[in-house]
Every structure is written in C-alpha cells, then in structure tokens.
C-alpha cells in the first residue's frame, strides 16, 4: 500500500499528507489522506489561470453563437439547473457565480427570480449583458462587495472545481446570504460509478477524461463537498446525482471511430457513466445547502 507523503496543504482540513491518484498531462492529482479531498498539487499560476478563461484562448467561444450545438446543449443544462433550484425556492434574489453567457439567469428570471451574475470571462459576461440585458459583473465571487447578508440564493454551477481556494469561496457565499439563504452548487463527482471504476487505470494509462486538468483544480464527492460546507456554516439539505453528457466525457461517435483506443475505453466505461445516476453514483451532482 502506498504510504502518505507530504504535499500542498488540503484546502479543507489543512493536512499535508496526500496519496497520488493520477498524473495527467503533467498535472498531479492527489487525495488528502485525512479527509479525502482530491486536488491538483501543481496547478497553473494565477496569470496562467486568468489567461485560460478568456476568449483569446478560445474559452467557451462556441457559447457565444446561439446557432451552435454547444449553445443548445448549455441551454438544456441551464434548464436542468433551474429544476434543481426550484426544488428549494420559487423566487427571491439570486446571484449566479460563474454565470457564463447568462443562459441560466435568463431562465431563472423568466420564472420570477430577481437575478444577477458575476463571470470571470470578460467576453462571456459581455455576451450576457448584450443578449439578455442581465446585470453581470466581471470577476469572481470576491468581486461582490455590496450584497452582504442580502441574498436569498447563491448558485455556483460547475465552478467550485475551477477555483484556487474553494474554502474561501464557500465562506464568501455564506457572507453574502441572508440567514437561512440557499447555496446551490453542481460539480463533477469523483466518487461516481464511472470515475471510481476507471480510476485504477488512470495512472498506468496516463488518461482519465473525468478530471480535466488543469481546468479542474479540485475533484469533489458529495461527502467531501458536504463536509466543506458543513464546516463553514451551512447545513446540507439535498443532493441529486446526474451524468455528464457522454459525448463530452468520451467523444462523439465520429471522433471515437477515428481512435480504436478511445472507442474501446468508451465501450467499457460509458455504460457505467449512464447507469451511475440510477444507483446514486452519478459522475456529476447537485448539492443544496442552507446558511445556518
């Protein structure tokens, strides 16, 4: 059995003992030996991260084209986000962190929510303002300094895995919410059926499409994200398992036919990704928490 080793401090519990999981494209994913949180121990620099999320690096540029397949896919995902939110609220002042091009905010506004957003990609923020006439600020959650204790709902859909300091972002969300306000997130699930089954092959193959380094700096499970929220003033009140689009994880039929190895991988693991949510082990999940 591999022995714990000293590495970067865990963002949740502060331990510096980690166990290696995989090394993909030069990035090392490790698990905290104490709490199980998985994270990249050699992430890009702040400047490199900032450059990654701009249109000049082709970040989400397809989402700026309403005629694109990517735009249609994200519009469907936005409606899925809203369905989960409406399990816990049917209105109120909502701030979406990492709102991208504003598709979710537009859907939520149509359903009666009072919405605003903040987005790190300047091009996506401008698209949201221009197309949907939304109130969207440039930056991240720490750029919001005028709503302390005022918000009913803060959402972070597929954002928490990207940030350098998730614990600090959770604390910031807690500060922005009124008492009993809702914090609703989604993120990939490292403990899903597909990720767990494919993890043993990640190190020998040097390939694991689930983790997406360096874009995803952290890999959460329902257990680890719930623990982080509970330790920082929240009560977790509901979760839902779902699946990442199979074509996104494994490739389209056309791309798979050009790569026998990827095709074999998809044939082995795509059925598990499809089945995971049906047994509470989806490779993507929603989590709702209430401010204590």
**HSE (CB half, 13 Å, CA atoms) of 166?**
30
Q: How crowded is the C-beta side of 222, counted as CA atoms within 13 Å?
A: 19
Q: Does residue 279 lie within any of the structural domains?
A: yes
Residue 241 is assigned to a structural domain of this protein: yes
CA 241 → CA 198, 220, 269, 282, 284, distances in Å? 18, 13, 17, 5, 6
Q: Judge whether 285 lies within some domain.
A: yes
List, for residues 108-126, the tens digit of each pLDDT value. Answer: 999 999 999 999 999 999 9
Is position 196 within any domain?
yes
Any domain includes 246: yes
Strands 218-219, 38-40: pairing is antiparallel
pLDDT at 139: 94
**CATH no. for residue 240?**
3.40.50.150
- Hey, what are 190's tokens? 């490292």
CA–CA separation, 272 and 154 (whole Å) = 32
Residue whose structure tokens are 């994913």: 29
Q: What percentage of the chain has pLDDT greater than the value 70?
A: 96
State pLDDT tens for residues 55-98.
665 667 888 999 998 899 999 999 999 999 999 999 999 999 99
- Whether 7 maps to a domain, the answer reads no
Q: How many domains does the chain have?
A: 1
Structural domain range at position 102: 18-291
Answer yes or no: is 26 within a domain: yes
- Residue 1: the pLDDT is 41
Asked whether the beta carbons of 214 and 28 are under 8 A apart, the reply is no
pLDDT of residue 187: 98
Q: Which two three-digit tokens encode residue 67?
A: 């005629």
Is position 3 within any domain? no
């Amino acid at each position: 059995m591999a022995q714990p080793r000293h590495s970067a401090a865990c963002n949740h519990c502060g331990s510096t003992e980690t166990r290696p999981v995989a090394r993909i494209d030069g990035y090392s994913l490790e698990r905290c030996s104490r709490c199980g949180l998985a994270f990249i121990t050699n992430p890009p620099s702040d400047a490199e991260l900032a450059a990654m999320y701009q249109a000049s690096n082709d970040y989400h540029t397809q989402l700026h084209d309403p005629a694109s397949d990517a735009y249609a896919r994200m519009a469907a995902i936005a409606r899925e986000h809203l369905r989960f939110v409406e399990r816990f609220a049917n209105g109120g002042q909502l701030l979406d962190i990492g709102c991208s091009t504003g598709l979710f905010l537009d859907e939520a506004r149509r359903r009666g929510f009072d919405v605003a957003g903040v987005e790190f990609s300047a091009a996506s923020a401008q698209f949201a303002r221009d197309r949907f006439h939304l109130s969207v600020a440039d930056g991240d959650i720490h750029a919001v300094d005028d709503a302390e204790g005022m918000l009913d709902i803060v959402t972070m859909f597929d954002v928490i895995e990207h940030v350098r300091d998730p614990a600090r972002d959770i604390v910031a969300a807690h500060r922005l919410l009124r008492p009993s306000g809702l914090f609703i997130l989604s993120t990939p699930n490292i403990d899903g059926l597909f990720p767990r089954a494919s993890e043993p092959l990640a190190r020998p193959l040097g390939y694991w499409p689930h983790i997406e380094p360096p874009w995803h700096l952290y890999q959460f499970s329902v257990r680890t994200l719930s623990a982080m929220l509970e330790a920082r003033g929240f009560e977790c009140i509901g979760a839902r398992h779902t699946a990442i689009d199979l074509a996104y994880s494994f490739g389209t039929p056309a791309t798979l036919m050009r790569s026998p190895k990827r095709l074999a991988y998809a044939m082995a693991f795509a059925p598990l990704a499809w089945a995971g949510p049906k047994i509470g082990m989806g490779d993507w999940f929603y989590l709702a928490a209430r401010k204590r």
